[in-house]
């Protein structure tokens, strides 16, 4: 069953087209990775799916209905975004208590465990939290709310590697016990590649990939060898990336179902992260350029 | 309806802060006035010891509900509350707060009377134009202005959330222009005596509770139309 359905969704902010005919369906009880560069449109997709922003055109269905002002649908959603605003006059415990009041599946015991795990000071004012602690508040609300559909939009800002691993471990363990639909938007693709079961790659407001993670992992391969051998091997295939060093060529190609044994060529698997990077770079001449790290362009 | 009450409870999660601030400001201004008139007791005749500090608690409510929109609204929508539930819950809270603080002021007014103006003839709560004939009218005369001040705060908040800082400027300047235009028009037509008569003909109850209630309702409805399409 599909929890989310978007068909031909376009979103314009004045002259800027944030989403350009986005269509996708996300299945129930899976962990979906929503990947893409800064400003690609990830946050806009999630804002529209949670009724916080409005699509310019196209069809949006969450649990079979449009989410805007739909208490029935929204009551089953938790959306944790990196830029989530908390009232300045709240302490950590007030934010957690508010979440407890609003989420029917809230597990106070689990929340208390997570507070311990992350070493979060519940009596501290929200304004006095470090960036990492603020992210931890969102992560705890996202996990303990146990909403049937949970969005995490880059929830890890400021969290160190150990805390991020803690988040992934807790998410996976709780997901195994209580299956639900999770949409995780992230830049740290390598870190979550074992976690996500389905990948949606979005770039410049368009969907580039929409496939099972397992399929994607076997989809491309990097081949290295003398220029002439590699060139003859990749001829007729989609080359995602090529690097030449002297007489050696290293090419990433898609559409190689099994590893052929070809003399003088070396084959390596391509990580999800590399595949995403190369696919995105293929999508446009500007994609080799860095974009300021941080946030999407539509906050 | 349950969701609306949930929103009220979320807003009251930090209830100490919500009630401590207005009460603290009220207590503080009372002390300042007592000290001031205590020191000046020889210079100010006891029938002239009137202060307008009471307005401070109303201004606190304006600021509080401006923040309700700029800070609690994005938080609540982040936790999957609909705009309707949020706005209805805020309305319930504003009305309840107004009635409660109105009741408090009513009681303080009685205390002020019984103690002969806090012992020094100070009129801090029961200002001459505020005093009504009976307790119910007195309660409403204190309570309704809270609703009007809160509604103005909510309105500025929703305009800010929907159109940003430039929206707030546009609304403020627009309101000032309309007001200036009206003043000009009334002057041109020589209607000032009529305007003055209108206000003196009204009872103080109408001016304190009647018209502020109309303002609160109109602004409250306008705020809903704006927040419907606001993003957190």
Q: In what order do the strands lie in the sheet with A220-226?
A: A238-245, A248-254, A220-226, A266-269
Give the count of domains, chain B: 1
Query: Smallest Cβ distance to A74: which of B74, B80, B231?
Result: B80
DSSP-derived 3-state class of residue A226? strand
Q: What are the tokens at B28?
A: 């503080």
Q: What is the pLDDT of residue B90?
A: 96
Predicted pLDDT of residue A161: 93
**pLDDT tens by residue, chain A, 299 residues:** 899 999 999 999 989 999 999 999 999 999 999 999 888 999 999 999 999 999 999 999 999 999 999 999 999 999 999 888 899 989 999 999 999 999 999 999 999 999 999 999 999 999 999 999 999 999 999 999 999 999 999 998 899 999 999 999 999 999 999 999 999 999 889 899 889 999 999 999 999 999 998 888 888 888 999 998 888 888 888 888 889 898 899 998 887 766 666 678 888 888 888 888 888 888 876 555 554 434 443 43
Residues of B in contact with A79 (CB under 8 A): 78, 80
- Whole-angstrom CA distances from B19 to A30, A267, B24, B101 are 45, 69, 8, 9
Looking at residue A296, what is its pLDDT? 40
Of A143-152, A175-184, B18-27, B211-220, least confident by mean pLDDT is: B18-27
Is the CB of A285 inside 8 Å of chain B's CB atoms?
no
Whether B33 maps to a domain, the answer reads: yes
- Decide if A47 touches B, using CB distance below 8 A: yes
The CA distances from residue A40 to A50, A139, A203, A238, A280, in Å, are 18, 23, 5, 23, 10
Contact yes or no for A53 and B84 at CB 8 A: no
Cβ neighbours of A80 in B, within 8 Å: 78
Name the residue with tokens 């969704």.
A9
- Alpha-carbon distance values, A240 to A114, A163, A237, A280 (Å): 41, 34, 9, 9
User: Does A125 lie at the interface with B, CB-CB under 8 angstroms?
Assistant: no
Report for A282-296, B34-48, B190-204: range of highest mean pLDDT: B190-204
Residue A72 is predicted with a pLDDT of 93
Of A89, A97, A147, the CB nearest to B17: A89
In a domain, B74, yes or no: yes
- pLDDT, tens only, B63-99: 999 999 999 999 999 999 999 999 999 999 999 999 9
Q: Is A103 on the interface with B (CB under 8 A)?
A: yes
- What tens digit of pLDDT does each residue of B113-143 get? 898 888 888 888 888 888 888 899 999 999 9
The residue of chain A with its CA nearest to that of B83 is A69
Does residue B58 fall inside a structural domain? yes
Output the pLDDT for position A293.
Answer: 39
Query: Is there a domain that residue B232 lies in?
Result: no
Which runs of consecutive H residues, i.e. helices, occur in A178-294? Answer: 189-192, 213-217, 227-234, 272-282
Nearest residue to B76 (alpha-carbon basis) of A211, A157, A141: A141
Instruction: Using the predicted structure, report yes or no on whether residue B47 has a pLDDT greater than 90.
Output: no
pLDDT, mean over chain B: 90
Which ranges of B2-82 would DSSP assign to H, the alpha helix?
Answer: 2-11, 15-39, 55-67, 73-78
Tell me the three state secondary structure of residue A55. coil
Q: Given the structure tokens 């860095």, which residue do they identify?
A: A290
Rounded Cα distance, B126 and B130, in Å: 6
Please give the average per-residue pLDDT across B43-65, as a whole number. Answer: 83
Tokens of B22: 């207005």
The confidence score (pLDDT) of residue A279 equals 86
Range of the domain at B106: 2-227
pLDDT of residue B17: 74
The Cβ of residue B224 has, within 10 Å, a number of other Cβ atoms equal to 16
- Partners of residue B13 in chain A, C-beta under 8 Å: 90, 94, 97-98, 101
Q: Which residues pair with A250 in a beta bridge?
A: A224, A243
Residues from chain A that touch B74, judged by Cβ atoms under 8 A, are 84-85
């Amino acid at each position: 069953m599909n929890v989310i359905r978007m068909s031909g969704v376009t979103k314009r902010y004045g002259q800027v087209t944030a989403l350009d005919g986005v269509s996708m369906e996300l299945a129930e009880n899976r962990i979906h990775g929503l990947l893409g560069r800064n400003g690609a449109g990830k946050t806009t997709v999630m804002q529209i799916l949670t009724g916080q922003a409005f699509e310019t055109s196209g069809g949006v269905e969450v649990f079979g209905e449009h989410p805007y002002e739909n208490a029935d649908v929204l009551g089953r959603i938790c959306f944790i975004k990196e830029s989530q605003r908390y009232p300045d006059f709240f302490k950590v415990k007030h934010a957690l208590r508010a979440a407890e009041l609003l989420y029917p599946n809230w597990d106070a015991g689990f929340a208390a465990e997570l507070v311990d795990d992350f070493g979060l000071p519940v009596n501290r004012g929200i304004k006095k939290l470090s960036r990492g602690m603020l992210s931890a508040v969102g992560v705890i609300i996202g996990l303990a709310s146990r909403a049937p559909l949970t969005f995490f939009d880059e929830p890890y800002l400021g969290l160190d590697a150990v805390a991020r691993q803690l988040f992934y471990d807790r998410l996976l363990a709780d997901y195994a016990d209580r299956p639900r639909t999770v949409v995780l938007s992230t830049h740290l693709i390598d870190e979550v590649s074992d976690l996500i079961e389905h990948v949606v790659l979005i770039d410049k407001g368009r969907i580039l990939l929409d496939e099972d993670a397992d399929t994607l992992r076997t989809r491309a391969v990097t081949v290295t060898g003398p220029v002439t051998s590699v060139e003859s091997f990749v001829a007729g295939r989609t080359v995602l990336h090529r690097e030449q060093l002297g007489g050696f060529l290293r090419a990433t190609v898609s559409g190689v179902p099994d590893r052929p044994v070809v003399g003088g060529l070396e084959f390596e698997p391509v990580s999800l992260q590399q595949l995403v990077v190369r696919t995105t770079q293929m999508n446009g001449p500007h994609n080799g350029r860095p974009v300021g790290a941080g946030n999407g362009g539509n906050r | 309806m349950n969701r609306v009450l949930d929103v009220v409870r979320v807003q009251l999660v930090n209830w100490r802060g919500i009630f401590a601030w207005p009460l603290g400001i009220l207590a503080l201004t009372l002390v300042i006035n007592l000290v001031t008139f205590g020191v000046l007791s020889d210079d100010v005749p006891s029938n002239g010891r009137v202060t307008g500090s009471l307005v401070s608690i109303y201004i606190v409510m304006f600021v509080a509900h401006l923040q309700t929109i700029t800070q609690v609204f994005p938080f609540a929508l982040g936790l999957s509350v609909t705009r309707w539930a949020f706005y209805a819950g805020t309305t319930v809270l504003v009305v309840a707060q107004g009635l409660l603080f109105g009741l408090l002021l009513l009681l303080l007014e009685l205390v002020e009377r019984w103690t002969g103006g806090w012992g020094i003839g100070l009129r801090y709560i029961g200002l001459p134009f505020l005093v009504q004939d009976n307790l119910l009218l007195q309660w409403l005369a204190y309570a309704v202005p809270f609703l009007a001040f809160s509604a103005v705060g909510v309105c500025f908040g929703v305009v800010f959330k929907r159109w940003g800082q430039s929206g707030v400027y546009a609304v403020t300047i627009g309101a000032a222009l309309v007001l200036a235009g009206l003043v000009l028009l009334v002057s041109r037509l020589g209607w000032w005596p009529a305007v003055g008569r209108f206000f003196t003909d009204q009872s103080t109850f109408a001016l304190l509770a009647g018209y502020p209630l109309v303002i609160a309702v109109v602004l409250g409805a306008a705020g809903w139309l704006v927040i419907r399409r606001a993003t957190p």
